[in-house]
Structure 1
Amino acid sequence: MDLSGKVAIVTGSGRGLGLAYARELARHGASLVVNDVDQEAADEAVAAITDDGGKAVAVVAPVGPTETAKSLVTTAVETYGRLDILVTNAGVLRDTVLWKMSDEDFDTVIGVHLRGTFTCVREAATYLRGQGEGGRIICIGSPTGQRGNFGQTNYAAAKAGIVGMVRTWALELARANITANAVIPVAATAMTDTVPYFKQFSDAAERGEPVPFARRVLGFGTPQDVAGLIAYLASDAAAGISGQAIGAGGDRLTLWSHPEEVVTAFRDGGWAASDLESDFASTFGQSLQSVGQPMPEPPADAAPSPEAGS
């Protein structure tokens, strides 16, 4: 896997998953533009990449505004002479149930995740089309956007929207040989540490305990477990893959389906409310779709002990 001569932007790459993505791309030879809202985190990310022998510069700015997107692309081109790869990872959480969610809670998450992805991809795609050598767009989704999750109206909407945009961009950018894919990661980060179900496993892993249930059954591991997929989708080897939602986490790799009709029924003249009242249950009742992310109860011998290793 050789990304030598390639130039990549990774938004939200000061810490966590974004930093793992940036370091992995650099490890395979790409030159990086890292991004974070925190100057110290951005500087540390640049230092981590350069200490490993890679090349990196930072743009410290929140994603969402068009000005940030322009700055990211301009920095890549002025520093390295080109752009090849964009990974849109930046994100925030403002979790609360629907009836307690404020306008600010909703707008903040939509602004960073959804608008931030849109503005960055628009700017990168415009440049890549003009450059005329193809390119790679990799947008970060979430299981929440695929299935929903309690208390995450804003986040679910943004992440579902990102996958919808990716499918559209795969169509629009195909003639320019620019691929667009969504990655659905499951990994221990500051965000997942707010969820007690996941935190028990990340804490156990930090203590050096094996967590096979988390890695296999849940597909939950470290940011580095997802980074290999990012590098692959950024490479020439993935030129034929576009418009896909691909999950990664722990020991597991998954390909998510696109929404499809699971049952179809016809009635001459269309369906009146009375027809639905009499026939909906018998026609669709056995095929209604589940919502939410299933969280299997760990077997007794798989659940980490809170006190172990302390």
Structure 2
Amino acid sequence: MDDSAHFHLRASRVEADSLTGRTAVVTGAGRGLGRAYAFALAAAGAHVIVNDVDEAAAHRVVDDIREARGQATAHIAAIGPLATAEQLVQTAVEHTGRLDIMVANAGVLRDRVVWKMTEEDFDLVVSTHLKGAWTCAKAAAEQFREQGDGGRVILVGSPAGQYGSFGQSNYSSAKAGVVGLTRTLSLELARFNITVNAIIPTALTEMTATIPAYSGWVKDVEAGRDLPPLARREHGLGSTMDVAPLVTWLTSDDAAGVSGQALGLGGDRIIVYAHPREEAIADRDGGWSQQDISDAWHRDLSRAMQPAGPPVKPSPENW
């Protein structure tokens, strides 16, 4: 994929020097969206700790950031265990004396329908996405508390966690958990001036190219061609750099009062996702029998039943 635009940090849509003097960790930053977040944070002036399990990929990102006169340091490890998260934070402190921003982006996929998915498939995905988000947030929060001047935690969700996704019972469970984790941590850490938010990114990447309907748009992005409004608006899809300004904004002074939110960005579309709410309520003196529940369901409650799966969007094949 041609990512040359990533390497020109000042050309990205972020405010130069707005994060000067701050240190950011981005996990899973060797490629795709994580790499875009790392470049954008560096463009805004932060020293970025580039974590990835792929040593060569992490060092390429660091080299590209430095070539563009940004600041970056590589950290090679698979995310999940608490010890790894603590080492990652320690790397930041050793190089810059502090930590200000934690972006827990690392993830893996093991897509299979539930009757074909193995326990190992499930455990690996949940450990990386959900446990990894928790361990990175925990290690960062402890450092932020010690420093005493707040901090920013950004966890990464997915539309799969908001709506469900066929063949991704492991991934959608983990990503739904990330949003629940975000809400809880935002409550626990508010007193320490630490904000915690989830981003729900959508972008055309190598991963997206595996979806046949999107393969043409991925090729367009690779070639630097403009995407149609159907892609950028209705589907909320663009390049990885389209998502990056949400990360830099959430870490800026302007977003100091924003916490506990799930915010989506992709292409031309930004989304504020609702928290779960009670859609319908019924009360009955003395409690409920099975027949009472049936009667209430068919009379009043069924109208509030929620569909599973993402909203239906116009087909890319028609653009």
TM range (shorter): over 0.9
Which TM-score applies when normalising by structure 2?
0.92
- 1:219 and 1:250 in contact (8 A); partners too: yes
How far apart, in 2, do the equivalents of 1:225 and 1:263 lie?
A: 37
Structure 2 stretches lacking a partner, 5+ long: 1-14
1:201 positional shift: 1.8
The question of whether the paired residues in 1 share the 8 Å contact of 2:165 and 2:309 is answered with yes
Residues 89 and 139 in structure 1, CA contact (< 8 A), matched pair in contact too: yes
CA-to-partner distance for each residue in 1:81-123, whole Å, 9 max, x for gaps?
A: 1000000000000001111110000001011101111111111
- Kept in 2: contact 1:215–1:221 (CA 8 A): yes
Q: Does 1:32 align with 2:48?
A: yes
Give the conservation status (yes or no) of the 8 Å contact 1:186–1:219: yes
Residue of structure 2 in register with 1:238 after alignment: 255
Cα deviation, residue 270, structure 1: 1.5
* Structure 1 residue runs without a partner (length 5+): 303-310
Q: How far apart, in 2, do the equivalents of 1:107 and 1:21 lie?
A: 26
Q: 1:289 and 2:306 equivalent?
A: yes
Q: Distance in 1 between matches of 2:103 and 2:171?
A: 18
Contact kept? 1:49, 1:56, Cα under 8 Å? yes
Deviating 4+ runs (over 6 angstroms): none
1:11 aligns with: 27
Partner of 1:59, secondary structure, is strand
The whole-number CA distance in structure 2 between the counterparts of 1:3 and 1:209 is 30
SS in 2 for 1:122: helix
1:150, 1:41 → 2: CA distance? 30
1:225 aligns with 2:242: yes
When normalised by structure 1's length, the TM-score is 0.95
- How many pairs were matched up? 302
1:213 alignment counterpart = 230
Higher mean C-alpha displacement, 114-123 vs 189-198: 189-198
Structure 1 residues 300, 108: CA separation in 2 closer, same or farther (over 3 Å shift)?
closer
Amino acid at match of 2:163: R
Aligned partner (choices 27, 41, 62) of residue 46 of structure 1: 62
Q: 1:299 to 1:155 in 2, by over 3 A?
A: closer
Q: Which residue is equivalent to 1:268? A: 285
From 189, 195, 202, give the equivalent of 1:173: 189
Paired residue for 1:117, among 133, 153, 162?
133
1:52 to partner: Cα distance: 1.1
| Superposed CA RMSD | 1.2
Aligned counterpart for 1:160 among listed residues 158, 176, 197: 176
Number of the residue aligned with 2:3: none
Structure 1: distance between partners of 2:318 and 2:270? 25
Task: Identify the match of residue 59 of structure 1 among 75, 89, 94.
Answer: 75
SS in 1 for 2:209: helix
Percent sequence identity is 51
Offset at 1:299? Answer: 7.0
